[in-house]
């Protein structure tokens, strides 16, 4: 039986990275590959990017995501942005793994580990206004003092934006100023870093003051703008498609799907497509979403089922086992769809399940 497909266009992925490089200039590019490369399939995506000269390394959120990249033979530096178990010596001993320290206590713990002869490179995160993980700026004096007086292999320093996707950049600029001030204080103590990074996709696209010497593009490399509007320089990497598995001619007055949420108003030809909310098609698509067949949009009828989606295919010549597009083409790009449902593009991508086959096109 035909299955839903996420068609991954690696040529578009390369194009987007090249576009980002044209913006950030000499800054190093560390794409974000967390959450299964935003649903695109981390193994193939990482291996493809690993072979691009303009890519300098990668970012993940968790230890297990870093371990995956090691298994996939990724040899460029890997930043673990989230909380890391500093006792996981098997992982941290890998020469390209760089964990993040989020507190002074962790720095002290790391010093204790290093005293036993264990070698590890690490970076620190500074909370400049996100209010989650990271060293509080009030602790910065203690951090500077401790680093200066203890032999720790600190090679990176970073922070994270709260609101870089907003039109008003005042708070983003405040965070940049706080981060820059902290770095200046470190420089006066002759503490320098190989990697300094703050810019996510939003900041890359609209705030040139945010780049420092490294950037962390996420959504943008997958061809989607986080700014709520289309960017003509970005090309969607994923096209999510469903196969038609049955056609039904319905008369006026018949019900479609669970709880009779749609009743035909006239004679309709209904197409049943393989794919539902277990595959990543949110229930909110029911009776509201559209699907593209050839070059035309057709309305979804009734509730989205766990495995199936019903569509009015009247006027279409689609045949059984042919595919129609849920997102990633023409009008059905995630910038538009997410806005229609008051959601963000990330949710659609990362909710794509393992049942969806990833097909890679070079």
Active-site residues, by number, are 34, 258
SS3 state at 165 = coil
Q: Which residues is 199 bridged to in the sheet?
A: 215
Q: Which residues is 292 bridged to in the sheet?
A: 297, 325
DSSP letters for 88-133? -HHHHTSTTEE-EE-SHHHHHHHHHHHTTT----EEEEEESSS-SS
The H-or-E segment that residue 352 falls in is none
Residue 290, both tokens: 């559209």
SS3 state at 293 = strand
- Nearest 5°: the CA angle 191, 192, 197 is 130
Q: What region does 131 belong to: left with phi over 0, alpha with psi -120 to 50, or beta?
A: left
Nearest Cα neighbor of 324 from 288, 354, 296 is 296
Residue 260 · residue 254 · CB < 8 Å = no
In the 8-state DSSP scheme, what is residue 327?
E
In the 8-state DSSP scheme, what is residue 154?
E
CB neighbours (10 Å) of residue 101? 25
The gap from C-alpha 190 to its chain's centroid, in whole angstroms, comes to 35
Residue 202 · residue 169 · CB < 8 Å = no
* Cα(240)–Cα(220) distance, integer angstroms: 17
> Cα separations (Å) of 47 from 42, 68, 70?
8, 11, 11
């Amino acid at each position: 039986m035909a299955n839903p497909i996420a068609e991954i266009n690696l040529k578009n992925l390369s194009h987007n990275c090249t576009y980002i490089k044209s913006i950030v200039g000499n800054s190093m590019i560390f794409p974000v590959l967390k959450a299964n490369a935003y649903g695109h399939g981390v193994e193939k995506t990482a291996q493809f990017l690993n072979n691009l000269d303009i890519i300098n390394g990668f970012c993940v959120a968790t230890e297990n995501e870093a371990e995956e990249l090691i298994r996939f033979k990724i040899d460029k530096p890997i930043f673990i942005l989230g909380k890391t178990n500093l006792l996981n010596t098997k992982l941290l001993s890998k020469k390209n793994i760089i964990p993040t320290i989020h507190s002074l206590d962790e720095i002290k713990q790391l010093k204790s580990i290093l005293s036993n002869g264990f070698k590890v490179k690490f970076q620190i995160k500074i909370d400049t206004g996100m209010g989650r993980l990271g060293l509080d700026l009030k602790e910065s004096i203690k951090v500077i003092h401790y680093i200066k007086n203890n032999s720790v292999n600190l090679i990176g320093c970073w922070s994270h934006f709260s609101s870089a996707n907003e039109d008003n950049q005042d708070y983003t600029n405040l965070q940049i100023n706080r981060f820059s001030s902290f770095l200046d204080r470190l420089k006066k103590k002759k503490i320098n870093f190989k990697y300094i990074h703050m810019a996510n996709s939003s900041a890359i696209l609209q705030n040139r003051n945010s780049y420092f010497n490294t950037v962390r593009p996420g959504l943008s490399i997958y061809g989607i703008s986080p700014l709520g509007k289309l960017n003509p320089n970005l090309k969607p990497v994923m096209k999510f498609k469903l196969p038609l598995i049955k056609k039904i001619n319905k008369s006026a007055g018949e019900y479609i799907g669970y709880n009779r949420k749609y009743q035909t108003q006239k004679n309709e030809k209904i197409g049943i497509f393989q794919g539902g909310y277990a595959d990543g098609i949110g229930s909110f698509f029911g009776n509201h979403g559209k699907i593209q067949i050839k070059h035309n949009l057709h309305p979804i009828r009734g509730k989205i089922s766990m495995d199936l989606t019903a569509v009015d295919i009247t006027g279409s010549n689609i045949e059984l086992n042919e595919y129609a597009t849920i997102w990633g083409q023409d009008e059905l790009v995630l910038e538009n769809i997410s806005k229609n449902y008051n959601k963000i593009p990330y949710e659609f991508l990362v909710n794509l399940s393992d049942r969806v086959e990833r097909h890679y096109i070079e």
